[in-house]
Structure 1
Amino acid sequence: MQYYALVGDIRQSRQASDRKALQELLLETLNALNNRYSQHMAALLMVNAGDAFQGLFLPTAPILQICDGIRYGLSVQSGIRIGLGFGAIETAIDPKQSILADGPAFWNARTALQQVQQEDYYGTRTLAFCLKDKHLESVKRLVNQVLVLHDQVSSKWKNTQLELARHYLLTHGFEKVSQTRLAKEMGLSTQQINTTIQAMGWFAFLDTRRETEQVLLQVVGGNNP
């Protein structure tokens, strides 16, 4: 069986004005995602060293929603980098300790994280995907280019825009919800929500994100021996 492995770290965490608060936010975010997506996890998301984290997921997991939950859960405080890998696990899997698992899934995730660090598109890149399957090479390349474009778009979001992305993704994932409902949830006017969404290109971002995840679910996860 093959899995999605996720490894990541917080950008410039040593320069944070309050590292303790940042680590507490990271732990809170990971715990919330562990609870929300527990049925999709092979091993829980966990902090493995100060500002680094990892997790292991079933091939049917809504993996981009999970990545976005981490990213936007922390985005108001700090940026992150995530490497996402797909492949086998060659060790025993402890559901509570993803740090004990290893194999191609994690090797590919570390390769993807290195790609984020080395090909960072002027500091805007946050997520890359890697697998070692020549039959899916074109899918991997296309998914990565879509992720790069998403990062370019979202790198321009500020303040209320980031708060909207954080609330939306942590509350609804990629589900479509009305602007009226969103305004009520966030305590803003419908006009404020409408203006923010238009300035962000939010629904184009969300629709493309959802379709990219479907490709991963159907083509990559569905190709799981």
Structure 2
Amino acid sequence: MESKLSIAVIADIIASKKIENRAPLQEILNEILKTVNTNFNDQIESYLTITLGDEFQGIIKDFKTTFLIIDLIDTQLKTLTKSILKEEVTLRWGIGVGELVTPIKDKTISIGSDGPVYWNARNAIEKVHSHNDHGNTTEKLVSETLEDDFFNSIIRIQNVIKNQWTTTQQDTVSILLKEFGYEEVNNQKLKILLNQKLNKDYSEQTISKRVISTHIKQYVQSRIQLAERLEDWRKLK
């Protein structure tokens, strides 16, 4: 049974006005969104589009893809801005679930559509802005049901894991997610990728320690299970 409820995301840059190199930041963000829209074309209903200088939005077909896209953009933006701009840029996310009142006329531009799905996403990002748990919470979900507190309690724990990754761990996770997504990690293949992209010669033992230290396997499993629970709930609506 196909749900009538859509999934919208709205994201903005935390403390964007304090960032000096805004032009190269825009270029980095544009390239990341362009790649994500291309790679996930079949799973995205309305492309992730920059609507304001520091904000972008879009509509995604399922929760697993939603969480994966959030994680990909988060880790890539942090690693690239740290490397290029010498400062780590972080996003806050609002995930909205609800009806889309106006039809999507142009998939490539997420502007012009409206409805509770976007209102809920806006509400969610405002909740992150006002209650971010000392910077540990960067995502919230709003569906206007009694389940929201439960869903957000899981997201909060996931955020604590993700937002404590060091620069080195961010590098590892970014490369890992780009290659494997939420699939099982192949340490041998990851070793080759890290050696190539970071221009170093890591041992298999070092790679194994890196993967373990990020808790990425537990993190991904939690994301997948939450996505499945959310999909079961959405199908009943």
Q: Is the TM-score greater than 0.5?
A: yes
Aligned residues: 219
CA separation of 1:63 and 1:210: change in aligned 2, threshold 3 A: same
Per the alignment, residue 26 of structure 2 pairs with 23
Q: What amino acid sits opposite 2:233 in the alignment?
A: V
Aligned partner (choices 123, 132, 148) of residue 135 of structure 2? 123
Q: Structure 2 stretches of 5 or more lacking a match?
A: 82-88, 196-201
How large is the Cα RMSD of the aligned pairs?
1.6
Q: Is this contact kept in 2: 1:41–1:61, CA < 8 A?
A: no
Per the alignment, residue 184 of structure 2 pairs with 176
Q: Deviation string for 1:47-103 (max 9, x for gaps)?
A: 111110000122476211122122112122211001000111111212122121110
Whole-angstrom CA distance in 1 between matches of 2:56 and 2:63: 21
Whole-angstrom CA distance in 1 between matches of 2:19 and 2:123: 26
Per the alignment, residue 168 of structure 2 pairs with 160
Q: Structure 1 stretches of 5 or more lacking a match?
A: none
Q: 2:222 aligned with 1:208, yes or no?
A: yes
Per the alignment, residue 124 of structure 2 pairs with 112
Per the alignment, residue 72 of structure 1 pairs with 75
User: Which portions of structure 1, spanning 4 or more consecutive aligned residues, are displaced by more than 4 angstroms?
Assistant: none
Per the alignment, residue 196 of structure 1 pairs with 210
CA separation of 1:26 and 1:67: change in aligned 2, threshold 3 A: same
Q: Is this contact kept in 2: 1:40–1:61, CA < 8 A?
A: no
Please report the TM-score for the alignment, with normalisation by the length of structure 2.
Answer: 0.86
Q: What amino acid sits opposite 2:29 in the alignment?
A: L
Please report the TM-score for the alignment, with normalisation by the length of structure 1.
Answer: 0.91
Report % sequence identity. 25
Q: Is this contact kept in 1: 2:93–2:128, CA < 8 A?
A: yes
Q: What amino acid sits opposite 1:19 in the alignment?
A: R
Q: 2:45 aligned with 1:42, yes or no?
A: yes
Whole-angstrom CA distance in 1 between matches of 2:170 and 2:66: 20
